[in-house]
């Protein structure tokens, strides 16, 4: 209705101008001059209303249409209503931001908002206590002036913030911080830094690791003595038929359990060595294809392996940059686990292939599979899906923990895909910077492994 009224006013104004021009022609004989003056007044009115509408939209100056609103009544009302809504929303946003800042200010963790150049946009009071920043926050302060650890900037440049970084506080070397970065604005390169004081947890973890390492070392010596004494005792039982019948089985069981204890101790010491450093101590070119063939040939030699079917799908020119020894340990653990924890006649497929820019090592079996509730805990130390069956197979419960630790050192991810009754797949995805090409001739061991596989089929 207002729109119709506005247009009626406009038409009436145009009619008045034309009528005035006709009257001027009849009275004074000057139609054009009056028409030009009327049109100029009409255009000036519109220009003035445009200027007032611009002030309302850009500056928020409360105003109304000049002289007979006409078609301008609706735009002015809508603009005024929109401005009021925006003012109310701005007030609400301001209250929300203040509430959010107050909430962050009360957190014990240091919270820092970083700009595109890693400058401080905002921080809470805890950031002053843990990182040495100022409170109230000094915006545009380069974070490099406060955190000078080279490892922190390697963490920034790497761009992988899926895991937190532990390092000493820049203002107190006795405080250990766990720093996590979160990208929270798409396309603006702004990040949220959260630093948590984990000093107590860090020291408790160190105590645990040192305890395990020290106990393992202390157990190794008496266990070596026990093993050494059992060997001649077992030989004596074989020569003495009467003693052999009476004590032979007992000595055999003692030897088996001593060997089992030895394997657990060796795995614990291996884990302790891996825990001491999060990065490989060497960057060798690893010929993975040759390594896989050697491990598979060794796996065929254990008691139940002749009742398993092995299949190799290996890209021979695909290699890795990393530690040969630890990677061999990880791959062999996965392959031997597939042999030891699956029933006879299980098919085991070992793959080494490119997956886009990544490299993937996979061990897939057609065994009984693993229930979903167990999968998140498989890499925990001593965790067993079925304790009885695992002990019968001779496992220590540390194999996948070692695998996971080796992969973390190489920036690699372990994926477990399994369903009861549909077998299991263990995949190791290596990042691009670890992938390389082997340009020399593939070792003959791989060809022998394939010939052996073809013969089994």
Residue range 106-197, CATH number: 3.30.450.20
Question: Residue 363: its pLDDT value, please?
Answer: 94
Q: What sign for the dihedral angle of Cα 39, 45, 49, 50?
A: positive
Residue 51 and residue 58 in contact, taking contact as beta carbons nearer than 8 Å: no
Q: Are 292 and 312 in contact (CB under 8 A)?
A: yes
Burial status of residue 198 (CB atoms within 10 A of its CB: 0-12, 13-18, 19 or more) = middle
What is the mean pLDDT, run by run of 10 residues, along the chain of 457 residues?
60 71 67 72 77 72 59 74 81 84 84 87 88 82 83 80 85 90 75 90 78 74 80 74 69 78 77 70 86 90 73 92 90 90 89 91 92 88 66 67 88 89 92 85 50 48
First-to-last CA distance in the chain? 87
Question: Residue 396: what pLDDT?
Answer: 66
Q: In sequence order, what E strands does 88-171 have?
A: 110-114, 119-123, 141-142, 165-169
pLDDT of residue 393: 55
Show me where the domains of the chain are located: 2-101, 106-197, 204-275, 284-456
CB 249 within 8 A of CB 234: no
Structural tokens at position 352: 């080494």
What CATH code would you report for 284-456? 3.30.565.10
Greatest alpha-carbon span in the chain: 151
Q: Is the link from the previous residue into 327 a cis peptide, with omega within 30 of 0?
A: no
**Fold entry, domain 204-275:** Helix Hairpins (1.10.287)
Evaluate whether 106-197 and 284-456 have a shared fold.
no
Question: Can you give the pLDDT at residue 75?
Answer: 75
Separation of alpha carbons 148 and 184, rounded Å? 24
Full DSSP string of 292-311: HHHHHHHHHTSTTGGGSEEE
Query: DSSP string of 209-276?
Result: HHHHHHHHHHHHHHHHHHHHHHHHHHHHHHH-HHHHHHHHHHHHHHHHHHHHHHHHHHHHHHHHHHHT
Cβ neighbours of residue 117 under 8 Å, at least 6 residues apart? 142
């Amino acid at each position: 209705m207002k729109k119709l009224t506005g247009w009626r006013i406009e038409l009436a104004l145009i009619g008045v101008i034309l009528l005035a021009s006709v009257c001027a022609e009849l009275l004074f004989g000057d139609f054009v001059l009056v028409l030009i003056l009327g049109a100029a007044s009409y255009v000036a009115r519109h220009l003035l209303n445009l200027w007032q509408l611009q002030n309302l939209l850009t500056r928020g100056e409360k105003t109304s249409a000049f002289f007979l609103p006409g078609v301008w009544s609706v735009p002015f009302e809508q603009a005024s209503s929109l401005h009021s809504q925006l003012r109310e929303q701005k007030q609400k946003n301001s209250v929300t931001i203040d509430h959010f800042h107050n909430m962050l200010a009360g957190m014990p963790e240091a919270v820092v908002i970083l700009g595109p150049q890693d400058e401080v946009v905002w921080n809470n009071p805890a950031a002053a206590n843990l990182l040495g920043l100022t409170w109230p926050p000094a915006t545009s302060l380069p974070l490099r002036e406060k955190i000078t650890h080279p490892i922190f900037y390697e963490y920034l440049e790497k761009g992988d913030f899926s895991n937190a970084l532990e390092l000493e506080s820049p203002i107190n070397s006795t405080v250990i911080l766990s720093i996590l970065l979160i990208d929270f604005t798409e396309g603006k390169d702004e990040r949220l830094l959260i630093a948590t004081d984990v000093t107590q947890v860090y020291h408790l973890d160190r105590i645990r690791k040192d305890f395990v390492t020290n106990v393992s070392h202390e157990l190794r010596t008496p266990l070596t003595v026990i093993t050494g004494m059992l060997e001649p005792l077992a030989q004596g039982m074989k020569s003495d038929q009467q003693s052999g019948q009476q004590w032979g089985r007992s000595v055999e069981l003692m030897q088996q359990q001593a060997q089992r204890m030895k394997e657990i101790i060796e795995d614990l010491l291996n884990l302790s060595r891996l825990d001491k450093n999060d990065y490989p101590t060497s960057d060798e070119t690893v010929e993975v294809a040759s390594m896989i063939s050697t491990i598979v040939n060794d796996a065929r030699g254990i008691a139940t392996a002749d009742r398993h079917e092995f299949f190799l799908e290996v890209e021979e020119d695909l290699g890795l940059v990393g530690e040969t020894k630890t990677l061999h340990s990880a791959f062999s653990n996965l392959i031997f686990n597939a042999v030891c924890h699956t029933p006879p006649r299980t098919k085991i497929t070992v793959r080494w292939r490119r997956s886009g820019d990544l490299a993937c090592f996979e061990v897939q079996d057609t065994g009984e599979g693993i229930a979903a509730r167990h999968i998140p805990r498989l890499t925990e130390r001593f965790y067993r899906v079925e304790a009885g069956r695992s002990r019968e197979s001779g496992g220590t419960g540390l194999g996948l923990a070692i695998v996971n630790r080796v992969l973390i050192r190489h920036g690699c991810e372990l994926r477990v895909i399994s369903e009861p009754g549909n077998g299991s797949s263990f995949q190791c995805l290596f990042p691009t910077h670890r992938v390389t090409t082997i340009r020399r001739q593939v070792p003959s061991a791989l060809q022998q492994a394939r010939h052996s596989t073809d013969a089994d089929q």
